[in-house]
Chains A and B, each alone.
Chain A
Amino acid sequence: MKQSSTRAVLVEVAIHFVLLVAVCAALYPILWVVSLALAPSGAPDARALPIPDSISFHSFASVLFRQNSSGTWVFAVQLFNSVVISLATSFVAVAIATPASYALARFRFVGSKAGTSLLLFTQMFPGVAASVPLYLLLDSLHLLDTRSGLILVYATSAVPFAIFQLRSAFEAIPREIEEAAMVDGATQFGAFLRVALPAARPALAVTGLFAFMTAWNEFILAATFLSREEMFTVPLLLNSYVSEYSAAWGNFAAGAILVSIPVCVLFYALQRQLAGGLTSGSVKG
C-alpha cells in the first residue's frame, strides 16, 4: 500500500515535470515576441531568457496610435475592418457549410460521395495557383477592394474544412431526436433548424472560430485584393513594419501581440468545445 502511494506521487511529479517542460517550450517563442515588443530598442538581441533589460511600451503605443499621412487613425480603421471581415467570414462560412454538412451526414444522395471527395481535393491543391484567377473573378464581380469580396473569398475557402467538421458533429447527434421532432410536427428542415442545429452548437462555435482565424490571420489574399488603405486589415498593417529595406521588429512584435489577443481569448473561451467539437463524430463516425 505504502509503496504504491509513493509510486503514485512519483508518477504525478513526473507528469507535472513533463507538462511544465512542454509549457515552457510552448511559451518560449511567444515570450520572445513579447520581450521584443517591450524592449526599448525594438531590436532582437542574443539572450537565452526572453526578459528585456528594461520595459517600454513605446512599440505598443506606436502601433496602437499609428496614424497615416492624412491623420486617420489607421490602427482603429484596420482593426475595425479585420473584426468585421473576420466575424462576417465565420458567419458566412458556417451558414454555407451547415446545411451542406447536415445533408452529407443525414441523407444518402446521388453525388454525395463525389462531392465529399471533391471537397477533400480542394484542400490538396496549393492555393498559390488560384490567386490570380481569383483576382480576375472578383474583378469581374466588382468586388475588388471591398469587404464583401474578401469575406466571400475567405468564407468559401473555409467552407470545405467547416463541412468536414460539421458533418462529423451532425453524425454524432442521434438521428432519433430529429425524427422525434418530425413526429412531433416539424418538417425535415424544421427538425434541422430547431433540433439538430441547437444540438450542434459547440461544433458550430468551434467551426466559426476556425473560419474567424482564417480571415483574421490571412495576409496574401488581402494584400492582393485590397488597394485602399481604409479597407486594409490588421495583418497588412503588421506587414508594413517589414518593408524592403528595413524592419521595425519592435513594432511588428507589438502588432503581432495585439493581433493575437482576440484569438487567444476566443480559444480560451471555447477550449472545452474545442476538444469536443473537433472529434465529436470522428469517434463514432
Chain B
Amino acid sequence: MKRWFALAAALASLCLLPSPQASADETSVTLWHAYGEAEARGLHEAITAFEAAHPGVNVTEVAVPFGAYASKLESAIPTGNGPDVFIVAHDGIRTYVDGELVASIGPIPTAVSDDVERGYLDAFRVDNVLYGLPIALKCTALYVNEALLATPPASLEEFRALAPVLAPGVSPLAFETDSAYYAAAVLHAFGGELLDATGHYTFTGPSAERTVAVLRDLVQQDVVPQDASGALVTQLFASGRAAAAISGPWLATDLPAGLRYRVVPLPTVGGHRMRSFVSVEGALLARGARDAATSRDLIAFLASPSGALPRALIGRQTVTSNAVQADARVANDSLLSAFRAAASHSVLMPTHRKMRAAFEPANRALRKALEGEMPIRVALAEGAHRFEMITRETMPAQNPTVFLVVVGLLFLVLTIVSIRKIADAGMRARIRRSWPAYRYVLHAALAIALLVILPLLVGAATSFFAGHGRDMHFVGVANYVDILTAQGGPIFAHGSFWLVLLVTVLWTVLNLLLHVSIGVALALALHRPMLKMRGAYRVLLILPWAVPSYVTALAWKGMFHRQLGSVNAILSHLGVEPVSWFAHFSTAFAANLATNTWLGFPFMMVVTLGALASIPNDLYEAASVDGATSWQRFRFITLPLLGPALAPAVAMGAVWTFNMFNVVFLVSGGEPDGTTEILVSEAYRWAFTRSQQYGYAAAYAVLIFLLLVGGNRLLSRNTEPVGGTR
C-alpha cells in the first residue's frame, strides 16, 4: 500500500514539474507553424537572426501537428491560448477573418512593399485591411530525371511521344491525375477554373471536360501511371521509373542524394502553358497578440530579405522576397529559381470560403471519369451536385422561444417528478440506506459528470445551431430534419444519412461476425492444454491489439495500395491481376473490413480464452463419460457456456465498431466516392472538411447516440441486459 502511495506522489510531482518558461524581463512572442523538419530549420534560422537584431525578445516556435492545426487555431486564439503570430497559407484568410482570429498589422512596411509583388501582398488583405505578410510560395513544377531525359519536354504532347521510346516499366511522367489540385493546372491552361470569384463551382463545362479528356488520354496511353498517389509519384521518380514528375518543392526532400534531376516550369498543353495553383504562405498577426508591436516586427522581418534568405537556403523555401533572388546561392539553386519562375505562371488559390469544399467533389468527379466509370460529362455534373450538397446554404436562424419553452416545460416536469419521488417516504428511506454507497461513487460521478457528460451535453446542444464562429445561430431541429429527410432528396440517395446508416450496420454486423468467429476459433485452438508453443502463439496473436491502431491502419492502407501495396504483390505472385482496392465499394469495404478484423479479433480471442478457462473441466469429463463426441461436447457444453460470457464483450464491441472512426478514415477514407463512409466518419467530415459545420456534425453524433441506445434496448430486452444494468 505504502509503495503505491509513494508512486502516486512521485507521479503527481512529475506531472506538475514545471517546464522552462521565459524569464519575466524578456518580451516573448509565440509563433505557430506546421512545417516539416527542413522548413522548420530554415524558419528557426530566420528567427534566430530576428532575436539577434532585437535583444530582449524571445520567440517561441511551436511546430503544431498539421492534422490539428486549423481547429487548434480556431479554439486557441479566442480563448487567449493561441500564438501571437502564425504561419498559414493564404486561402483560409477569410475563415480567419470571419472567426476573428487575426488582427490588422497596419500599413505594409516599405522594406516589404518594395520587395514583394503586389499580388502576393494582397493575398492577406480582406476588405482593405492587411492581416499578415507573405513569406513563401507553394506551387508545382516539373521535375525531370536528367539521366533519362536530356532535354525537358516542353509540352504534355511531347511526353506522349516518349512512351514508346523509354525502357519498359518507365513512365514518361508521373503525377496525381485524380487530384483536382494537379488537374487544375490543365484546367487553368484551358481558361477554366475550379471556383469562380462568387463562389460558384465551375469544374463543369467545356474546359473542364477537355481537361478530364486530356488526363484520361494520358492515363490510357500509359504516359502517366494510373491512380498515382503522392507516395507513388515520389517512389517512381526517385527510383527512375518515371522520367519526369509534376510535384511541389516537397518532393525534393524525399529524393535520394544521388539522383540527378532538374526542375523547370510546367509544360504546355494544347499550346497553352499549364498553370498550377499557388498558395502564398504568410505570417499572420493573431488577434489578442500579447505584444503586437514586436509581433509585427517579427512578421515584417520574416517577410523581409534578411528573414527570407535563411529560409530559402536552409529550408529551401520558395520565398516571396525579390531581393533574395539576387543572392548568388539562391540564383544558382535550380530548385529555388525554377519554383520561383513556376510561381509567376501560377494561379493564386481563390480565398473564397467554399474553396476548400470544392476539392472533395472535384476529386471524386475526376476519379470516376478517369476510371471510365461514367462519361466525363456525367461525372462532372455529379461533382457539381455534390458540391451543392455539402456547401448548402446555412440554415436560416430560428426564434428559439418555442424551443426554450418546450425545454423549460420538460425540465419542469422532470423536476416535479423527481420531487414527488423524493417526497415518497419509502424512497427517502432507500436513499438514506444508499448513503454508504454514495461515498464510494461520489468522486467518479463528479469526474464523469464534469469531464465526460457535460462536454457531451454541450456538444449535443450545438446540434441545434448552424454556422460557426461569430455567425453561429440557433436553427432549432432544422439540422435533424435536414439529415433525416436526406436533404430533401431521395431517402437512399448517395451520401444520405440512411444509406450511410445501412453501410454502418452492415459494417458492424460483418465485423462482429468475423471478430467473434475468428476470436473463438483461435481461442478454442489455443485452449488445448497439451498444445505445444501455446504461450508463443498467444503472445503473437495478441500483438495486433498492442500496436497503436492509427499506425496499423496506415500500414494496411499501404498494403492495399494499387501499385506499392503488398496485397497486390501477393496476388500477382498468384497470377491475379492487380486490384484497385479503393475504386469499388466492395473491394474498399473489404479492405476496411480486413483491417478492422485484424485489429479486433485479439480482443475476442482473449475474452474467449478467459471464458474457456472458467468452464470447469469436470463438465467435459462428465460429458465424455456420458459418451459425448468432441463435437457434441463443443455444441452442448462450450457453446452454451460461452454465450453469456461473450455477450457483454460483443455488446461493447458492437458499440466500438459502430463508432470505429480510425479505420474507415485512415484506410479507405470513404473511397470510392464516400460510399464506404460510416456515420461517425461522416460526422467528422461535416465537422472538419466541409466548411466546419459543427452543428450538423453534432446532429449526426446525437443520431448515432440515439441509434446505439435504441439498439441496445432492443437487443437487451429478450436477453440479459447487456453491459449496463444488471
Contact = CB atoms under 8 A, between A and B. Distances in A.
Chains A and B touch (C-beta atoms under 8 A apart): yes
Contacts of A126: 659, 661, 680, 683, 700-701, 704-705
B548 A122 contact: no
B15 A29 contact: no
Contacts of B451: 134, 137, 152-153, 156-157
A239 B66 contact: yes
Interface in B218-266: 230-231, 234-235, 238, 248, 250-251, 253-254, 256
A164 interface: yes
Nearest to A18: B525
B114 to A, nearest CB: 30
Contact of B441 (A99, A134, A274): A99
B541 A88 contact: no
B548 A256 contact: yes
Interface string A105-141: 0010111110111111111111011111111110100
B416 to A, nearest CB: 18
Interface stretch (B91-99, B366-374, B381-389, B426-434): B426-434
Interface stretch (B171-179, B198-206, B607-615): B607-615
A5 B459 CA distance: 64
Contacts of A268: 539
Contacts of A259: 548, 551
A131 to B, nearest CB: 8
Interface stretch (B117-125, B153-161, B338-346, B564-572): B564-572
B548 A235 contact: yes
Contacts of B723: 120, 164
A128 B661 contact: yes
B70 to A, nearest CB: 11
B655 interface: yes
Interface stretch (B36-44, B494-502, B505-513): B36-44
B68 A188 contact: no
A39 B175 CA distance: 24
Interface in B44-64: 44, 60-64
B440 A224 contact: no
Given A23-B540, A113-B725, A227-B32, A43 B234 contact: yes
B544 A32 contact: no
Given A26-B540, A26-B541, A100 B79 contact: no
Instruction: State the majority secondary structure of interface residues on A.
Output: helix
B16 A148 contact: yes
A73 to B, nearest CB: 14
A109 B11 contact: no
Given A236-B65, A282-B649, A44 B564 contact: yes
Contacts, number: 399
Contacts of A133: 454-456, 458-459
Contacts of A129: 456, 459-460, 462-463, 683, 697-698, 701-702
A235 B43 CA distance: 24
Contact of B66 (A112, A116, A244): A244
Contact of A264 (B460, B546, B598): B546
Contact of B558 (A32, A245, A271): A32
Interface residues of A, number: 135
Interface string A1-36: 000000000001001101100110111111011001
A246 interface: yes
Contacts of A282: 607, 611, 644-645, 647-649
B541 A22 contact: yes
A110 B436 CA distance: 11
A95 B566 CA distance: 45
Contacts of B61: 69, 229
Q: Does more than half of chain B's interface fall in helix, strand or loop, or is it mixed?
A: helix
B525 A229 contact: no
Given A110-B434, A267-B542, A96 B458 contact: no
Interface in A129-184: 129-137, 139, 144-148, 151-153, 155-157, 159-161, 163-164, 168
A227 B79 contact: no
B20 interface: yes
B71 to A, nearest CB: 7
A44 B235 contact: yes
A156 B444 CA distance: 8
Contacts of A19: 522, 525-526, 537, 541
A76 interface: no
B699 to A, nearest CB: 9
B525 A227 contact: no
Contact of A69 (B1, B44, B458, B543): B44
B636 interface: no
Residue among A126, A230, A235, A275 facing the most chain B CB atoms (10 A cut-off) = A126
A193 B532 CA distance: 40
A121 B607 CA distance: 22
A54 to B, nearest CB: 13
Contacts of B705: 121, 124-126
B726 interface: yes
B52 to A, nearest CB: 14
Interface string B697-721: 1101110110011001000000000
Interface in A47-88: 47-50, 68-70, 84-85, 87-88
B457 to A, nearest CB: 8
B452 interface: yes
Contact of A228 (B19, B253, B607, B641): B19
A158 to B, nearest CB: 10
B581 interface: no
A22 to B, nearest CB: 6
Interface string A190-215: 00110000000000000000000000
Interface in B10-26: 11-12, 14-17, 19-20
Given A100-B441, A159-B447, A123 B652 contact: yes
A267 B698 CA distance: 36
B15 A151 contact: yes
B563 interface: yes
A45 B598 contact: no
A33 B544 contact: no
For B251, B547, B661, the residue with the greatest tally of chain A CB atoms inside 10 Å of its CB is: B547
Given A26-B540, A240-B63, A117 B235 contact: no
A101 B624 CA distance: 40
A41 B548 contact: no
B540 A230 contact: no
A224 B72 contact: yes
B724 interface: yes
A97 to B, nearest CB: 6
B15 A117 contact: no
Interface string B347-366: 00000000000000000000
Given A18-B525, A128-B684, A243 B35 contact: yes
Interface of A: 12, 15-16, 18-19, 22-23, 25-30, 32-33, 36, 41, 43-50, 68-70, 84-85, 87-88, 91, 95-97, 99-100, 102-104, 107, 109-113, 115-126, 128-137, 139, 144-148, 151-153, 155-157, 159-161, 163-164, 168, 188, 192-193, 216-217, 219-220, 223-224, 227-231, 235-236, 238-240, 242-249, 252, 256, 259-260, 263-264, 266-268, 271, 274-280, 282-285
Given A120-B724, A240-B65, A282-B649, 7 more contacts: A25-B598, A91-B8, A109-B434, A117-B724, A224-B71, A242-B66, A242-B67
7 contacts: A27-B543, A135-B79, A136-B458, A160-B452, A260-B546, A266-B546, A282-B611
